Amino acid sequence: MKIFVQTYGCQMNKLDTNLVVNSFLQAGFELTEQVGQADVVLINTCSVRNHAEERVLSLLGHLKHIKKTRPNIIVAVFGCMAQRLKDDLLSREAVNIVCGPLQIPELVNLVNNAVGSIQKQSDTSGDIRQKPSQEQLQELDNFEQMYDSAENNLPAQAYVRVMHGCDKFCSYCVVPYVRGPEVSRAPEKIIAQIKKLAETGVKQVTLLGQTVNSYCYNGFSFADLLYEISKINGIEWIKFVTCYPKDFDERIFKTMADLPKICRYLHIPAQSGSDKILKAMNRHYTSSEYLDLLQKARQIVPDIVIAGDFIVGFPGETEEDFQKSVELIKMTQYKNCFIFKYSPRPGTKADDKLSDNIPMEVKKQRNTELLAIQEKISAEINKSFIGKTVKVLVEGTSKKSHLDETGKKEYPQLIGRTAGDYIVVFNGSADLAGRFVKVQIDRASALTLFGAMV
């Protein structure tokens, strides 16, 4: 039987899709890229923004249409939206299976049960805030071993989950209600997994957690984990996302300064420059505490690269509040920053208690203004690379190819990233994917550095 997979959402979801696909391949299914050829359609969903959920509903509308002529196709919806909307999704004509993010090890069984049956299948958490049982955690841990770095289209790179869930309850965010409580994986399991990945040629691991720096397993901290992973032979770069400002312990910065394998890159969302809005967001820090944190990081790790996130148009955000975000973004000097327009999520505190009172036009205009400021900052920072040589892990070829300097031979255009997460584009042979190369930068835009291999 053939499976077709559609994934929405973040890196954590992409990791889950990798595990799910491999569990199906091991069970004898084949993968197809054509939905029209699929016997089973797997949809990995995201609930973080309304738009992501709308896209899933629109795909389900399309599948309902396809099912009129091919009624035997099995449609399984899994991930965050499956946990959030369980019964609503199950009642839809197109859907055969609903499976929560903590139940993905069961997905193959659910599909096998659904074959030839009219009975719909569902497996989600009854009380998502209840800590998963030891048995469930063990099952999830075993399932992590399904990860196949060859599947993620980034040669020599792998993503490794170090924790599940989140306990922060930022007032706008649905994650604690769909991915459950924060649970750190045992360090020995993470280390054994990374050792195995290194043996298969993985050179860069990216550790994933909703608040990765909050990692703690029986007193074994995130800094301890970084220290142990950096001892693994074959692993050359260690990255991690996403960080929560409040949970930074100075030892993490010291580890970054001392251990050459830890990439000097941090993604630390600020979300707002206004203390009033930060309080309403339940973020537990002020803008000056946030700036102090960045200053400390830069003191201990002078060449650290920092990226951020902001939300504009949060309920009650006045022009004065927004101007505080403008000031903060100017002061942070991020390498890049993701800027989102507030989108109310059902079941969150912000949606329950606050009215979404900022008109879309204002949200759009604030979004554009912050983006323009960040673009200028990014362009300036990127310009400072011109003439310098950077080390890059090659990700692969870009879709475009172009002529080399002589104008005679066509090379593919390669894309790679530095340890600081700068995107670098240069000419080179496609078989360099997964290797480290040095590139001298001769041109820069706000998003990309361009250069030639040395």
Q: List interacting residues with ligand SF4 (CB under 6 A).
A: 166, 168-170, 173, 175-176, 210-211, 244
Smallest gap from residue 234 Cβ to ligand SF4 (A): 31
Smallest gap from residue 6 Cβ to ligand SF4 (A): 23
Closer residue to ligand SF4, CB minimum distance, 44 or 122: 44
Closer residue to ligand SF4, CB minimum distance, 3 or 174: 174
Closer residue to ligand SF4, CB minimum distance, 168 or 383: 168
Smallest gap from residue 137 Cβ to ligand SF4 (A): 19
Smallest gap from residue 170 Cβ to ligand SF4 (A): 3
HSE, side-chain direction, 13 A CA sphere, residue 452:
6
Closer residue to ligand SF4, CB minimum distance, 203 or 283: 283
Closer residue to ligand SF4, CB minimum distance, 278 or 444: 278
Closer residue to ligand SF4, CB minimum distance, 124 or 211: 211
Strand-pairing partners, residue 339, are 310
Nearest to 227 by CA among 257, 247, 202, 265: 257
Smallest gap from residue 249 Cβ to ligand SF4 (A): 17
Smallest gap from residue 173 Cβ to ligand SF4 (A): 3
Nearest to 103 by CA among 134, 81, 79, 69: 79
Q: CA 396 to CA 416: how far, in whole Å?
A: 7
User: Judging by DSSP bridges, how do beta strands 121-123 and 410-417 pair with one another?
Assistant: unpaired
Smallest gap from residue 90 Cβ to ligand SF4 (A): 26
Smallest gap from residue 47 Cβ to ligand SF4 (A): 11
Closer residue to ligand SF4, CB minimum distance, 76 or 170: 170
Smallest gap from residue 214 Cβ to ligand SF4 (A): 9
Closer residue to ligand SF4, CB minimum distance, 44 or 121: 44
Q: CA 89 to CA 97: how far, in whole Å?
A: 9
| Token pair 């990765």 in the structure block, residue | 212
Q: What are phi and psi of 283, to 5 degrees?
A: -90, -15
Smallest gap from residue 269 Cβ to ligand SF4 (A): 7
Closer residue to ligand SF4, CB minimum distance, 15 or 425: 15
Smallest gap from residue 274 Cβ to ligand SF4 (A): 17
Smallest gap from residue 356 Cβ to ligand SF4 (A): 17
Closer residue to ligand SF4, CB minimum distance, 45 or 96: 45
List C-alpha distances in Å: 317 to 74, 170, 275: 45, 16, 11
Closer residue to ligand SF4, CB minimum distance, 10 or 89: 10
Closer residue to ligand SF4, CB minimum distance, 77 or 174: 174
Q: What are phi and psi of 438, to 5 degrees?
A: -110, 135
